[in-house]
A = this chain, B = another copy of it.
């Protein structure tokens, strides 16, 4: 599997994949005699993992750490569990923050729906929220 095929399969670009390699997220793949990168099929799963972890807000540095563990690197189990725990706490904190914001946005939407029809006449200024 060459880099273009991997990019297509994962919804990324060849640029991004080379960048991931340079950033230590993808290990240097074998090369064809012509010097082309030749990825094993399971690399798609690795790239998918990177994208989903990233979509969840982890930085590439964090994802690289998780992948290093996944690759069976040096860190001992205690280090591993510490790292996982830290990531988990971080994710839970983010979820809590987002839930707060969701509540705020729902409240604003509700307010908007109660205010809307009469007060928002043509040319009027729409004031869903009271002033500070």
The answer to the question of A31 belonging to the interface, with a C-beta cut-off of 8 Å to chain B, is no
Contact at B125–A77, with CB atoms within 8 Å?
no
Q: Is the C-beta of A23 less than 8 angstroms from some C-beta in chain B? A: no
User: Does the CB pair A126–B69 fall under 8 Å?
Assistant: yes
**A78: chain B residues within 8 A (beta carbon):** 120
For A53, list chain B residues within 8 Å (CB): 101, 104
Which B residues lie within 8 Å of A94 (CB)? 57, 98
Task: State the interface size on chain A (CB cutoff 8 A).
Answer: 56
Q: A69-B129, A125-B72, A128-B69 in contact; A77/B120 too (CB < 8 A)?
A: yes
User: Which residues from chain B contact A42 at a C-beta distance below 8 Å?
Assistant: 132
Look across to chain B and name the residue whose beta carbon is closest to the beta carbon of A40.
B132
A72-B126, A75-B126, A126-B72 known; A84-B105 Cβ under 8 A: yes
Question: Are A88 and B109 closer than 8 Å at their CB atoms?
Answer: yes
A9 interface hit (Cβ, 8 Å): no
A 71-102 to B, binary, CB cutoff 8 A, 1 in contact else 0: 11111111111001101100110110111111
Contact in complex: A77, B109 (CB < 8 Å): no
- Give the 3 A-B residue pairs with the shortest CB-CB distance, closest first: A56-B101, A77-B120, A42-B132
